[in-house]
Structure 1
Amino acid sequence: MGIISSGQITITDLSDAPVLSAFITASQTTTQVFDQTANTYNPSYASTPQKLTLNLTKAGQTSSILGQVGRISWYEYNGSTKTAITSTTNTDNQYLSGTHNEVLNTKVNVPASAGAKRYEAVGTWTDPITGLKVDFRANIDLLVVQLGKQALILNVYTGKGNTFYNNQPESLTVNADLYKGNALSGGNKQFKFFYADSSVSATNSNGYDADGGIGWHLCNSTTTGQTPNVEPTANTTAQGVLTVTADKVTNSQTFKVVCIDKVGGTNGQKATGVATILDFSDPIVVVIESTAGETFKNSSGSTTLKARLYRKGEELDVDGTSRTYTYKWSRRDKNGTLDTNFGGAGNQYKVGKTISVSASNVSDKATFFCEVFE
């Protein structure tokens, strides 16, 4: 049984704001390779600009609501330095385009010395019916790996894009290319692909492998829908490819790759990388309702929290009788400390589609999380 979604609610203030889904997609791979010898990037944003596009929908829906947004503000983070991007002139190195400035075009690759750069989009959506204003933000990280002489560099990327939309395409790939001495390796090597799995909590857990470690499940020919092109213990002269089907990604899934070189002076050396695949096709969104609102007064009162599940605007498991879903609730106090006895008898979880919360459970502020398992 694996986790398929999660939700949370903080008992602090009343709000009728809908849940928004804001995310940024990239026109090219978000990981660049910098060749120190040739002083070149692949891909080169100077030749083909990277286009970062903000997407905005209501949770559980697929239609864009950017038409109800004013101008989008974009920011670039280089370490701790935050810089606003405002230009709309396409001859500049970075400029905005689109009706709402929803597209950021950059001709600037990530500096090799930095390793990474973050872009953030911020805006305000106005409900056309109520006039309620809801702030939103989304960010995306661009990475760079360097090729140095006699260095093992594992470039891990999503070869066919990193997002499923409406269950399309049927599959995506996590690609792992090993570079050795500034060139793509054609010698023997082994690839181990892993997917993030919280059930791998000990060295004797199913799917555990020492190269992946705790929290990572090893993929092989029997992991249907997350299948590598070569078994993890087999040598190959090719590069590594993991094929992932749409039904294996709900909201997002992170993959880890460990490559073990098996030839030459670097025989036995390992290189590691990660990649994430997103699902915005038909995610199950958890919306938590509180029968008595989100505020207690004078340390008195009680409420019932109910987890509602939505997919494409349709509610699932309305009465909570479906055996498909399991609901596990946890509580953190105002300092973010987990309540290890929330479920009683030393259990941190309460189970059920609905739970009761009283003022004794809230000291100044408390956050209640609901994780939904399938």
Structure 2
Amino acid sequence: MAIVASGQITLTDLNDTKQLMMYIGASQSRTVVYDGLSSYTPDYSTSNQTLTPQLYIAGDNTNVAQDVSECKWFYQDNGANSPIEITQNTEDYTLTSIGTKGLKSLVIKNNVLSSRTSMTYICELIYQDIESGLNITTKAEIEIVKITNGLNGTSGKDAIVGVLTNEVANVLSNSKGEVTSLEGASTQLTIYKGVIDDTDNWTISQTRQNVVVTEPMSSKTATVTSLSADVGKVIFKATKSGYPEITKVFTINKVKSGEDATSYNLIIDTPVLALNQTKDSFNPMNITVSARMQVGSFEPFDYPTHFSVYESVDGTNYVEKYVSSSDEYSFVYTPSSFEIKALKVKMYLEGGTATVIDEQVIPVVTDGADAVYVNVWTPDGNAVKNDSDVVTARADVYNGVKVVSASSYKWYIQDESASSTSGGDVDSGEGWRLLNDDYNMGITGYTTSKITIPADAISSTEAFKCVVVYNGNSYSGVTTVVDMTDPIIVRLDGMDKFKNGEGTITVRATLLQSGLEVDASGTEGFMYEWFIYDANNNKTSFYKKGKVITVNATDINGRGNLVCEVNK
């Protein structure tokens, strides 16, 4: 049987604790380009990377991170058994206090990716819910990735690419459109000559629409301090003798609070396309594009809409090459030429191409012959329909531009309860469960470069990770598979509070699909399993089955999360 949906509510003796949403902001690009010799762009040793946590209570636009009582930072690199806590300042890191309580930012002072392909940083915050008096622990993570490029043997004129650290920012406002937070409303223009930062050799000017910016018009940086309309723009123009003009646009949108506050996110599986030295192959060879939507404080979900793709041979002027014929959740696009300098992808409001709601530029850089990269993708598409199809996921290992064979392949499915010692292994990292003979959900090929995933193994959206070993080193990649049928939502109905540690409550699991209840009588073949996790997120001995259950006050200690998993 496979889990088709799950839901949870928090039970307390006082008042229900609040739902928290946590993010980590980065002051520099999270993709570091290495020239294969000694140069890093951005260079964290001269332009420090500062990671700052942000914390919001669901339904409120106020950042409450400065009210936390404790803040811990960890890092985890490739192959590590478990995250390593950063407890003091070192030559690589500085912990900087923010405010008078426990909040800290993490400053990365060196090029920590010199011997790694990626690093994951984890921040753990403890926030006290004033109403219940309980301490809530929440975590978020952010990944830094290195792309290695080769300069030796590269001939011809270096490509000129302009990149913004942030192309679209969604800022919080109340229902009247009054901006309540401008966090994240900043960007910086970087112009690459090949893989070298050539920005300071260009003349930059800014044109501003509906915004006030801190920096002068000639700055490469724009920090927005005021937004007078629902949409604002900062248009960068960069000129240099002998080169075409570069134009980049930074767009700022208001996200209004209230029941109908909605945000959209364009997702592209690679930040750049790497062109080999002989200019006859990209790495990866194509891009996978998808869209997500979030309404209010509810969980994000896959969003069907129109997309368009533009190609540029000079990094400035773009020609449309693809547009959706109808609303779609995702698609795979292969560039039409190895002469292009950049791709631009646009996402529109559902139903057509009248309103652009997000866009992203993917620059082309020159790849080195010794770069190793794992491209995990779905060659026949990443969606199943009507619970009847199968999806094939494949891991292609590149050494430079050549596809090579790894000595071993291991596949994982995302599972937040899994760890390196429980369900995963030393290569998985936190939140990934190893597929093997004992746990596979009908998925086959999990020790090879290709797996076949049946529809009943996919609950709405599932992520799969492949870890390969090549020349004694481990490399990994991730792909996402979606179920195009309407997902089943579990709503738990019943009281969520006890008083004075006494009494019982009755909770019913209601299954909703497209807004309508399914399995109302409990006779449609679904199995309901119930668990309770304590305040430290440890599973207790509580276990029950059934569509309707009774919970005693003695089953929780102060606070507990009641979880229902529905199988079929």
The TM-score normalised by the length of structure 1 is 0.54
| Aligned partner letter, 1:251 | S
| Aligned partner letter, 1:152 | V
The answer as to whether partners of 1:196 and 1:217 remain within 8 angstroms in 2 is: yes
| Aligned partner letter, 1:373 | N
Number of corresponding residues: 285
Q: 2:375 aligns with which of 155, 158, 174?
A: 155
The answer as to whether partners of 1:74 and 1:121 remain within 8 angstroms in 2 is: no
Distance 1:211 1:362 in 2: 35
1:173 deviates by: 4.8
Structure 1 match to 2:540? 340
1:96 deviates by: 4.4
Tell me, what secondary structure is at the counterpart of 1:360?
helix
1:51 deviates by: 8.4
1:149 deviates by: 5.1
Distance 1:52 1:157 in 2: 28
Of the structure 1 ranges 143-152 and 307-316, higher mean CA displacement relative to structure 2 is found in: 143-152
Distance 1:106 1:320 in 2: 38
Structure 2 match to 1:4? 4
1:162 deviates by: 5.1
Distance 2:567 2:162 in 1: 41
The answer as to whether partners of 1:289 and 1:307 remain within 8 angstroms in 2 is: yes
CA gap 1:146/1:191 in 2 versus in 1, 3 angstroms: farther
Tell me, what secondary structure is at the counterpart of 2:554?
helix
Structure 1 match to 2:463? 254
Distance 2:300 2:379 in 1: 23
1:179 deviates by: 1.7
Cα root mean square deviation, aligned: 5.7
Q: Does 1:284 align with 2:485?
A: no
Q: Does 1:88 align with 2:305?
A: no
| Aligned partner letter, 1:253 | E
1:307 deviates by: 1.1
1:288 deviates by: 0.8
1:370 deviates by: 0.9
Q: 1:196 aligns with which of 399, 402, 413?
A: 413
Q: Structure with the greater relative contact order (CA < 8 A, sep ≥ 6): 1 or 2? A: 1
Q: Does 1:176 align with 2:395?
A: yes
Structure 1 match to 2:149? 36
Distance 1:157 1:45 in 2: 28
| Aligned partner letter, 2:533 | R
Distance 1:77 1:111 in 2: 23
Tell me, what secondary structure is at the counterpart of 1:330?
strand
Deviation readout 1:62-81 (Å, 9 max, x if unpaired):
xxxxxxx8879896599xxx
| Aligned partner letter, 1:252 | T
Deviation readout 1:239-273 (Å, 9 max, x if unpaired):
x5545454431122222224454xxxx3x655332
1:286 deviates by: 1.0
Unaligned 5+ segments in structure 2 are: 18-143, 155-160, 187-222, 236-247, 256-260, 274-291, 303-359
The answer as to whether partners of 1:50 and 1:106 remain within 8 angstroms in 2 is: no
Structure 1 match to 2:500? 298
1:320 deviates by: 2.3
Tell me, what secondary structure is at the counterpart of 2:490?
strand
1:10 deviates by: 0.9
The answer as to whether partners of 1:256 and 1:273 remain within 8 angstroms in 2 is: yes
Q: Does 1:310 align with 2:502?
A: no
| Aligned partner letter, 2:233 | T
Distance 1:242 1:52 in 2: 37
| Aligned partner letter, 1:316 | V
Larger Rg: 2
Distance 1:88 1:33 in 2: 32
1:172 deviates by: 5.0
Structure 2 match to 1:369? 563
The answer as to whether partners of 1:156 and 1:257 remain within 8 angstroms in 2 is: yes
The answer as to whether partners of 1:50 and 1:105 remain within 8 angstroms in 2 is: no
Structure 2 match to 1:117? none
Structure 2 match to 1:18? none
1:157 deviates by: 3.8
The answer as to whether partners of 2:6 and 2:566 remain within 8 angstroms in 1 is: yes
1:9 deviates by: 1.0
CA gap 1:50/1:253 in 2 versus in 1, 3 angstroms: farther
| Aligned partner letter, 1:326 | M
Of the structure 1 ranges 241-250 and 193-202, higher mean CA displacement relative to structure 2 is found in: 193-202
What is the percent sequence identity of the aligned residues?
27
CA gap 1:184/1:52 in 2 versus in 1, 3 angstroms: farther
1:195 deviates by: 4.5
Tell me, what secondary structure is at the counterpart of 1:283?
coil
**Matches of residues 161-240 of structure 1 in structure 2 within 5 Å?**
167=386, 172-180=391-399, 182-185=400-403, 187-189=404-406, 192=409, 194-196=411-413, 215-218=433-436, 226=443, 232=447
1:33 deviates by: 8.7
The answer as to whether partners of 1:37 and 1:148 remain within 8 angstroms in 2 is: yes
CA gap 1:367/1:232 in 2 versus in 1, 3 angstroms: closer
| Aligned partner letter, 1:155 | N
The TM-score normalised by the length of structure 2 is 0.38
Unaligned 5+ segments in structure 1 are: 16-30, 54-68, 113-119, 125-134, 234-239, 343-348
| Aligned partner letter, 1:286 | V
Distance 1:52 1:218 in 2: 42
